Amino acid sequence: MLRKVLHTIFCLLLALSSYSLFAQQDAQFSQYMFNHLYLTPAAAGEDGLTQASLLYRLQWQGYQSSFGDGGAPTTQILTFSTPIQKLKSGFGFYVMNDRLGPQNNLEAQAMYAYHLGIKESKLSFGVKLGMYSQTIDFSQYRPIDEDDPFISNNGKESQIRPDLGVGVMFRNPKYYVGAGFNHLLKSEFDFGSTLRNALETHMNLTAGYFFDVSMDLQISPSILLKTDFNKYTVDLAGIATYKDTMWGGLAFRSSEAVNLLLGYAFLKDRSLRAGYSIDFILKDRAAKENFSHEFLMTYRLPVVTGGVKKIVRTPRYRH
User: pLDDT tens digits for 67-82?
Assistant: 555 567 889 999 999 9
Q: Are 35 and 237 in contact (CB under 8 A)?
A: no
All structural domains of the chain, each given as residue ranges with its CATH number in brackets, are 2-317 (2.40.160.40)
Angstrom distance (rounded) from CA 68 to CA 66: 6
**Residue 12 has what pLDDT?**
43
Residue spans of beta strands (DSSP E) within the chain: 51-58, 74-84, 89-100, 103-118, 121-137, 156-171, 175-182, 188-190, 196-198, 202-209, 211-212, 217-227, 232-242, 246-253, 257-266, 272-281, 291-300
**Residue 31 has what pLDDT?**
94
Which portions of the chain are predicted below pLDDT 50? Answer: 1-2, 4-23, 305-319
Cβ–Cβ contacts within 10 Å for residue 306, how many? Answer: 6
**Residue 226 has what pLDDT?**
92
Q: Per residue in 80-132, pLDDT tens?
A: 999 998 999 999 999 999 987 778 899 999 999 999 999 889 999 999 999 99
Q: Are 207 and 221 in contact (CB under 8 A)?
A: no
Q: Share the mean pLDDT of the chain.
A: 82
**Residue 107 has what pLDDT?**
95
Maximum Cα–Cα distance across the chain? 73
